[in-house]
């Protein structure tokens, strides 16, 4: 028995020596160069491109299975400037042998040195990467792979994985585009299935630095089934710093991502300069978009995405936000935005320059061409709005837009089944408030719009001055109105505009129109006085304008203005389609100092005015026939108008009356 065992051990030892000798001596005596032509032929057949390798080839077997190749070259098809499409200076890999027996893969080195890829598209549109592969080769999918199968190894470790000094060059001669990624370096260290992989990558994109570092993993023994952690930091072009940290869940299944995103403050203008791109818009303030920063948490998959704890900095503005979207085919969107302040005028294009005289001759032709182009445009497609589901809230502390100053803005917008509402919409402006509701119905081809407004305590003078840079009217505004319209063009809206409302101004003045002066002019023309210098202003205690609108015709039935010793009523129509006015204004001298709040039906001396013509240049003229028909005032008639019961003493009323009468008819004798 001992003899048999002795012989068996001896045979095993001899076999072991022979195996070791073969592993050590085979690489020394086997000429690997003899396989080079065959390898080149196989690669050429599989790619359909010429392939060659350098003479510096080496293999090793023990204790590491090693392979080193040099000067790998894969050619481009004929007719391209780049002779080679892919070149690699050297490729080297070393794999430990003995751990393979226990399904453990240990790689000490995996290095690709100076890989270069040249991608080119000719002017005729053909690219050198097209039709890469053997001619007529068919790709077959066996479908036998088990989706949830574990790896056929117990462990994997790679000490060093590196790509050094890589280059990717892209040339599109048809578009005149050239791009290049150079100095491309990737280093992965401590690679294993059970531990995070450390990543360090850097490159120059058209000469601009780009870097990425951090860690990814572990991937686990069943890659695609285990959650993958990541913590990455990117630096772009010396301008942007971005950090991503989170988890990729179920990578081979639903692929849920939960991560935190942080973008350090950067200048968007400098970023565009670094990309050699013109800035995407011209702004009134060239210093905007100089500071942008973002922080938020993102959770999402292929079906939905949400943003929480969001904070955006835009120059001097700060926005806190949360948002979510799902059912992307609709989509279904919800958001909650809180903005501290923003001046939108800084971000809008600068005011258009006035046309010079030299361009005036061509402006008519250009305007006609533009009008024709707009007419030929297709009608708006409201199908996306009909599918949209939206529920959003917005708050803004202070907003400047169109030179208007607004504060405490709150809005709630909703959309579903083609109906879009903003209810409520509220804000403070010019010492007052505005509350509104907006409704848009796009279920039909022509949208229907409904607007309600409730304005309280707004100072009209500063509001109009900021909005139009004009002095039109001053006073405190109260207004309530409801308007309905159909269509999406100014013409349709004017034709279908309908509704009603009332606007009241108190303690103000109409700027640019002097009703007393116009009455003086009328008196002068009939010989009651001479024409003095005009004062373009009509003060009032109360101005009330009730109105209705139907099919684009604004009807004012009884607008009234009250001021001491003067009443003005107006009635008429404004034709929105033709943009014409047809009003009769009746100023009346009355015998009371009461203005706002006077409800008594006052008799007095009337001097009617007619306001007619286009909106842009209306004509205001006295109705001499109407004035003469009501009788020319004399001293006795003026005395009859004065109501001495309105004041505690007659003398003050008499003095006030003299002032007004002298203003209206300076030539009238005492």
What residue ranges do the domains of the chain occupy?
31-126+155-192, 497-664
Per-position DSSP letters for 363-419, written without gaps between them: HHHHHHHHHHHHHHSPPP--HHHHH-EEEEEEEEEEEEETTEEEEEEEEEEEEETTE
Mean pLDDT of 118-133: 86
What CA–CA distance (Å, rounded) separates 531 from 666? 8
C-beta atoms surrounding 145 within 10 Å? 7
What are the DSSP E strand ranges found in 193-291?
A: 197-205, 208-216, 228-236, 240-249, 256-266
Q: Is the pLDDT of residue 152 over 60?
A: yes
Q: Is the pLDDT of residue 606 over 50?
A: yes
Per-position DSSP letters for 279-302, written without gaps between them: -SS--SSTTTTS-EEEEEEEEE-S
β-partners of residue 456 are: 433
Q: Which range is most confident: 175-184, 467-476, 502-511, 608-617?
A: 175-184
Q: What is the pLDDT of residue 346?
A: 94
What CA–CA distance (Å, rounded) separates 303 from 296? 20
DSSP state letter for 645: G
Q: What is the pLDDT of residue 286?
A: 92
Q: Is the pLDDT of residue 2 over 70?
A: no
Q: What is the pLDDT of residue 518?
A: 54
pLDDT digits (tens, 9 = 90+) for 310-365: 999 999 999 999 999 998 988 999 999 999 999 999 999 887 644 444 444 444 44
CA distances from residue 158 to 193, 419, 527 in whole angstroms, order as listed: 10, 59, 111
Q: What percent of the chain has pLDDT over 90?
A: 38
Q: What is the signed CA dihedral for 542, 543, 548, 553, rounded to 10 degrees? A: 180
Q: Is the pLDDT of residue 535 over 60?
A: no
Question: Looking at 34-43, 131-140, 628-637, which range is the least confident one?
Answer: 628-637
Q: What is the pLDDT of residue 222?
A: 76
H/E stretch holding 651: helix 650-664
Long-range pairs of 272-277 with CB within 8 A, sequence gap ≥ 24: 274/208, 274/236, 274/237, 274/238, 274/239, 275/208, 275/237, 276/206
What CA–CA distance (Å, rounded) separates 303 from 331? 11
Mean pLDDT score across all residues of the chain: 78
What CA–CA distance (Å, rounded) separates 613 from 635? 36
Residue 431 — left, alpha, or beta (φ > 0 → left; ψ -120 to 50 → alpha)?
Answer: left
User: Tokens 């005028």 sit at which residue?
Assistant: 345
Among 519, 524, 484, 481, which Cα is nearest to 500's? 481
pLDDT digits (tens, 9 = 90+) for 207-258: 899 999 999 988 877 777 788 999 999 999 989 999 999 999 988 888 899 9
Q: What is the pTM of this model?
A: 0.73
**Beta strand pairing call for 155-172 and 332-343:** unpaired
Half-sphere exposure of 191 (CA within 13 A, CB side): 18
Q: Is the pLDDT of residue 594 over 80?
A: no
Greater confidence (134 vs 565) lies with 565
Q: What percent of the chain has pLDDT over 70?
A: 71
Q: Is the pLDDT of residue 630 over 60?
A: no
Q: Is the pLDDT of residue 61 over 80?
A: no
β-partners of residue 198 are: 189, 215
What CA–CA distance (Å, rounded) separates 423 from 410? 10
pLDDT digits (tens, 9 = 90+) for 286-297: 999 999 999 999
Q: Please, what's the largest Cα pairwise distance for the chain?
A: 159
pLDDT band at 490 (very low <50, low <70, confident <90, very high): confident
Q: Is the pLDDT of residue 196 over 80?
A: yes
């Amino acid at each position: 028995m001992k003899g048999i065992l002795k012989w068996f051990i001896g045979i095993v030892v001899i076999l072991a020596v022979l195996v070791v000798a073969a592993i050590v001596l085979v690489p020394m005596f086997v000429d690997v160069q003899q396989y080079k032509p065959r390898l080149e032929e196989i690669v050429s057949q599989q790619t359909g491109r010429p392939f060659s390798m350098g003479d510096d080839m080496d293999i090793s077997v023990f204790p590491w299975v090693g392979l080193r190749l040099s000067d790998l070259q894969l050619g481009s098809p004929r007719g391209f400037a780049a002779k080679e499409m892919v070149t690699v200076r050297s490729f080297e890999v070393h794999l430990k042998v003995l751990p393979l027996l226990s399904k453990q893969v240990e790689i000490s080195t995996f290095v690709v040195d100076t890989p270069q890829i040249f991608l080119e598209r000719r002017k005729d549109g053909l690219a050198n990467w097209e039709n890469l592969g053997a001619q007529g080769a068919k790709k077959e999918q066996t479908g036998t792979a088990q989706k949830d199968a574990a790896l056929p190894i117990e462990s994997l470790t790679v000490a060093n994985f590196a790509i050094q000094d890589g280059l990717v060059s892209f040339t599109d001669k048809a578009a005149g585009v050239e791009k290049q990624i150079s100095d491309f370096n990737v280093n992965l260290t401590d690679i294993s299935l059970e531990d995070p992989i450390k990543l360090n990558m850097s490159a120059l994109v058209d000469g601009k630095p780009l870097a990425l570092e951090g860690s990814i993993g572990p991937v686990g023994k069943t890659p695609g089934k285990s959650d993958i952690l990541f913590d990455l930091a990117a630096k772009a072009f010396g301008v942007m710093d971005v950090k991503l940290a989170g988890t990729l869940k179920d990578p081979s299944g639903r692929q849920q991502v939960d991560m935190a995103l942080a973008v350090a403050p950067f200048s968007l203008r400098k970023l565009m300069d670094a990309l050699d791109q013109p800035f995407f818009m011209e702004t009134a303030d060239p210093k905007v978009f100089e500071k942008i920063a973002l922080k938020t948490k993102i959770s999402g998959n292929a079906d939905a995405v949400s943003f929480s704890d969001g904070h955006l900095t835009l120059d001097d503005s700060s926005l806190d936000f949360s948002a979510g979207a799902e059912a992307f085919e609709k989509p279904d969107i919800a958001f909650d935005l809180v903005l501290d302040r923003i001046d939108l005028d800084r971000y809008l294009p600068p005011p258009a320059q006035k046309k010079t005289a030299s361009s005036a001759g061509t402006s008519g032709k250009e305007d006609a061409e533009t009008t024709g182009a707009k007419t030929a445009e297709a009608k708006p497609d409201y199908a996306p709005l009909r599918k949209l589901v939206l529920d959003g809230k917005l708050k803004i502390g202070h907003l400047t837009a169109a030179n208007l100053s607004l504060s405490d803005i709150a809005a709630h917008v909703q959309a579903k089944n083609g109906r879009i509402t903003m209810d409520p919409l509220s804000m403070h402006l010019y010492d007052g408030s505005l509350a509104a509701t907006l409704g848009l119905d796009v279920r039909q081809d022509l949208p229907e719009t409904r607007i309600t407004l409730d304005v309280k305590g707004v100072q009209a003078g500063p509001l109009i001055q900021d909005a139009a840079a004009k002095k039109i009217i001053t006073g405190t505004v109260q207004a309530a109105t409801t308007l309905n319209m159909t269509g999406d063009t100014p013409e349709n809206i004017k034709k279908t505009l309908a509704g009603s409302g009332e606007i009241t101004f108190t303690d103000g003045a109409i700027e640019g129109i002097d009703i007393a002066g116009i009455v003086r002019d009328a008196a002068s023309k009939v010989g009651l006085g001479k024409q003095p210098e005009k004062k373009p202003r009509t003060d009032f205690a109360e101005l009330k304008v009730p109105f209705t609108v139907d099919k684009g015709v604004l009807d004012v039935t009884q607008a009234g203005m009250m001021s001491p010793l003067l009443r003005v009523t107006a009635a008429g129509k404004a034709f929105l389609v033709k943009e014409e006015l047809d009003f009769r204004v009746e100023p009346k001298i009355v015998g009371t100092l009461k203005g706002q709040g006077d409800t008594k039906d006052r008799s007095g001396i009337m001097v009617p005015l007619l306001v007619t013509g286009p909106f842009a240049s209306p004509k205001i003229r006295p109705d001499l026939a109407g004035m003469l028909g009501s009788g020319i005032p004399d001293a006795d008639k003026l005395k009859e108008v004065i109501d001495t019961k309105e004041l505690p003493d007659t003398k003050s009323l008499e003095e006030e009356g003299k002032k007004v009468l002298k203003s209206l008819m300076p030539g009238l004798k005492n």
